Amino acid sequence: MEFRLALAGNPNCGKTTLFNAVTGSAQYVGNWPGVTVEKKEGRFSKGGMDITLVDLPGIYSLSPYTPEEIVSRKYLTEECPDLIINIVDATNLERNLYLTTQLAELGRPMIIALNMIDRLKKRGKEIDIKRLEDELGIPVCPISAAKEAGIEDLLHRSIHILHDVAHSENEKIEKGFFKNRAEELHDELHRIHDGLNETEDVYFPIVKSFYEWEINSAIEGIEGVICDNPKAKNNLRFSAVKLFEDDFITKDTLKLDKNSQNLVEEILKSVPENENIDRQMMIADSRYKFICRIVNDVESQKKGFEETISDKIDKLLTHRVLAIPMFFLIIFAIFGITFGSFGSMLTDLVDKLINQDFAGFLREALLSVNTKPWAVSLLCDGMLAGVGAVVSFLPQIALLFFFLSILEDSGYMSRAAFIMDGPLRKVGLTGRSFMPMLMGFGCTVPAVLGTRILENERDKKLTVFLIPFMSCSAKMPVYALFISAFFEENKPLIIFTIYVLGILLGILSGFILKKTVLKGEESTFVMELPEYSLPTLKNLFIHVWERLKDFLLKAGTVLLAASVVIWFLQSFDTSLHMTDNPQTSILAAIGILIAPVFAPLGFGNWQSSVALLSGIVAKETVVSTFGILFSAADEATRVLAVQGLFSSPLAAFSFIVFVLLYTPCIAAVAAIHKELGGAKWTVLSILWQIAIAWLVSFLVFNIGGLIL
């Protein structure tokens, strides 16, 4: 038998951690709200059942205000999972139970996974599980998803419920009186009217305790009106409550006829009005009263109130004055380790192994068996030099992502968004946009796709414009090569400057766009700061491995192909004859054509021009191109060659700035096109990037020349 289980809960309550623990998947888990934007599916077998587990985006309610809420609500109401596992954060019981009350009204079988129970105990609090179960009438399983504790019991009880569901439905089919829930309710409502209300409820009985008598009667009345509506059959109570709230999506879905609309209006008129609050507020108010009563009954404080460790850390890291300097200090420290002597030592080691020892051995071996010299050149100076030039930076990329993952898993990234809310507000954005921007430090493609968490269309466009300014990991090999060649003494400082420059220019660029093409209302930003937690090694490994896997995959496919093309363009002249002189090659012809554009920026040589051109395929290709152009497999040779190309460190810095700011790679442009939804905006975004890159590099080179 096959069943579908849905994981539903508030943002950052541990859904994806539980999903990974149950399915054995390696989905991205972050200690910040909004990690899951789309639903994800995983499969596993348990108790003879094939189960599909669906990880839904985190939501605070089933009101359709954000894209996450729309995705989750659509799935829960339309796909009707066989069982809902509602993950409730035990440390935030009151807020989490709000969603529980809505899920209970969907009328689907449900179990509560009370997560982070270990943290609750640390805070000196306790929850009476048995009493919570009795009060809600819903099974409750205490778990700690991060420590994988209590998960077996949760699955065991879930399987038990699924068995019951399968058994009762089979029984109904066998006895020939299978009815769907709406039909059962229809019958039940008739029995209520006839005074024969003796049958058991088909949904959780507790849902009738949420509201005052008048509201409850009105909702039941609406249920009676819509129970024949096919769109309301699977979630009658939920639809009735939503109609009570005047929910536009439900109205649109049900498409009630005039008569039914009038009946609903009549029922709603019977509800005593409160001039201070609308009906939606009445429902929320009733729910919270119900939740407060339950929380008071089940939660107890064993120790007196103590400031948590998170509170203490936050006093420093989110301090009004110190927060931003602390943020930059942390980032600077990460760059110090990644690009300092430790990171460089690892890179040198890999470089020696691949680009010196292996490449040297391969060249000698191939020539000794009389392989054609041009074929050896294609393999060693083209493919190997191109890919090897980039792969040697693998340890530094791994280190950078290791530290960024620690920041993310520990909960600091949420603080970073909170801290950056102030500066971002100045450009008309909120801290919510900082999350996709931070993802942009990894790769622009998922970061741009991640902007769909932003409800406001203007915010989304503005954030998509800003993301390419964040220095993605593909640009790192370029920086690493150039700082080795020109800034050996100040490696971390230069890298730090580049990253900060990207952020500042992104914000400045947002400010200009806000005042010109993207005018509009500012949106509000409410964000939950998760508790600090120690990152697990498993999660860190998943994060770093995902990034390295992408990097290696790109090196073995796109970069390898680009290396072959660049080798060909560099080894043949315009008459398609092989040439030993790079100056007469096709590549040189292309480079010479576009080099004058870059001359005012300090790097008017054709080699830099073609390297930048090839960087549009993938940013790492800039380094590959230098590797192939100078037949330089090892880093030392590449460094010497690059030193010979640029007249001064200032010209080299101007080049780095241009690489940081110019058009992102093809994949990123495609993602931008997809999210901005139009060629006009995509072209505008590309032109904007190129213009900013040229202008800033020009200013860096020329103003820098006056000062230095």
Q: What is the DSSP string of 385-410?
A: HHHHHHHTTHHHHHHHHHHHHHHHHH
Cα distance between the two ends of the chain: 75
Interface pick for other proteins out of 372, 425, 426, 515 (rule CB under 8 A): 372
Count the residues of the shown chain that bind other proteins, applying the rule CB under 8 A.
48
Q: State in angstroms the smallest separation of the CB of 403 from other proteins.
A: 21
83-89 and 110-115 as β-strands: parallel, antiparallel, unpaired?
Answer: parallel
Nearer to other proteins, 347 or 624 (CB): 624
Q: State in angstroms the smallest separation of the CB of 616 from other proteins.
A: 12
Q: State in angstroms the smallest separation of the CB of 233 from other proteins.
A: 25
Q: State in angstroms the smallest separation of the CB of 309 from other proteins.
A: 32
Q: State in angstroms the smallest separation of the CB of 31 from other proteins.
A: 18
Interface pick for other proteins out of 674, 683, 687, 695 (rule CB under 8 A): 674
Q: How many CA atoms lie within 13 A of 103 on its CB side?
A: 30
Nearer to other proteins, 608 or 625 (CB): 625
Q: What per-residue string of b and e applies to 675-688 under the rule 16 or more CB within 10 Å gives b?
A: bbeeeebbebbbeb
Q: Are 274 and 282 in contact (CB under 8 A)?
A: yes
Q: State in angstroms the smallest separation of the CB of 391 from other proteins.
A: 15
Lay out the site mask for other proteins across 468-507 (x = CB under 8 A, - = otherwise).
Answer: ----------------------------------------
Nearer to other proteins, 505 or 671 (CB): 671
In the window 555-614, what residues touch other proteins (CB under 8 A)? 557-565
Encoding tokens for residue 443?
Answer: 């790769």
Residue 136 binds other proteins (CB under 8 A) = no
Q: State in angstroms the smallest separation of the CB of 417 from other proteins.
A: 20
Q: Are 473 and 555 in contact (CB under 8 A)?
A: no
Burial of 437 (0-12, 13-18, 19+ CB in 10 A): buried
Helix (H, G, I), strand (E, B) or coil at 144: strand
- Single out the segment in contact with other proteins by CB under 8 A; choices: 148-156, 268-276, 367-375, 510-518: 367-375
Q: State in angstroms the smallest separation of the CB of 520 from other proteins.
A: 25
Nearer to other proteins, 42 or 388 (CB): 42
Q: Are 60 and 51 in contact (CB under 8 A)?
A: no
C-alpha–C-alpha distance, residues 534 and 540, integer Å: 11
Interface pick for other proteins out of 366, 406, 529, 592 (rule CB under 8 A): 366
Interface pick for other proteins out of 242, 432, 461, 673 (rule CB under 8 A): 673
**Chain centroid to CA 228: how far?**
41
Nearer to other proteins, 181 or 619 (CB): 619
Q: Are 39 and 54 in contact (CB under 8 A)?
A: yes
Residue 683 binds other proteins (CB under 8 A) = no
Residue 268 binds other proteins (CB under 8 A) = no
For 312-373, what is the HEC assignment?
A: HHHHHHCCCCCHHHHHHHHHHHHHHHHHCHHHHHHHHHHHHHHHHHHHHHHHHHHHHCCCCH
Residue 370 binds other proteins (CB under 8 A) = yes
Strand partners, 533: none
Residue 382 binds other proteins (CB under 8 A) = yes
Nearer to other proteins, 177 or 374 (CB): 374
Burial of 171 (0-12, 13-18, 19+ CB in 10 A): exposed
Closest C-alpha to 159, from 42, 5, 8, 7? 5
Encoding tokens for residue 567?
Answer: 């080798």
- Single out the segment in contact with other proteins by CB under 8 A; choices: 139-147, 411-419, 582-590, 669-677: 669-677
40-46 and 125-127 as β-strands: parallel, antiparallel, unpaired?
Answer: unpaired
Contacts of residues 321-327 at CB distance under 8 Å and 24 or more positions apart, as own/partner, are 323/415, 323/419, 324/419, 324/423, 327/416, 327/419, 327/420
Nearer to other proteins, 28 or 328 (CB): 28
Lay out the site mask for other proteins across 527-546 (x = CB under 8 A, - = otherwise).
Answer: -------------------x
Helices 649-661 and 679-707 cross at an angle (nearest 10°) of: 160
Encoding tokens for residue 506?
Answer: 């992104």
Q: State in angstroms the smallest separation of the CB of 477 from other proteins.
A: 18
In the window 271-290, what residues touch other proteins (CB under 8 A)? none
In the window 412-471, what residues touch other proteins (CB under 8 A)? 445-446, 448-450
Strand partners, 112: 86, 140
Nearer to other proteins, 39 or 163 (CB): 39
Q: State in angstroms the smallest separation of the CB of 401 from other proteins.
A: 15
Longest Cα–Cα distance of the chain, Å, equals 99
Q: How many residues are listed for the chain in this entry?
A: 708
C-alpha–C-alpha distance, residues 642 and 656, integer Å: 12
Q: State in angstroms the smallest separation of the CB of 447 from other proteins.
A: 9
Nearer to other proteins, 196 or 365 (CB): 365
Nearer to other proteins, 66 or 102 (CB): 66
Lay out the site mask for other proteins across 14-53 (x = CB under 8 A, - = otherwise).
Answer: -----------xxxx-------xxxxxxx-----------
Interface pick for other proteins out of 383, 454, 476, 481 (rule CB under 8 A): 383
Q: State in angstroms the smallest separation of the CB of 449 from other proteins.
A: 4
Q: State in angstroms the smallest separation of the CB of 408 from other proteins.
A: 15
Nearer to other proteins, 323 or 443 (CB): 443
Binding site for other proteins (CB under 8 A): 25-28, 36-42, 366, 369-372, 375-376, 378-379, 382-383, 445-446, 448-450, 546, 553, 557-565, 617, 666-674
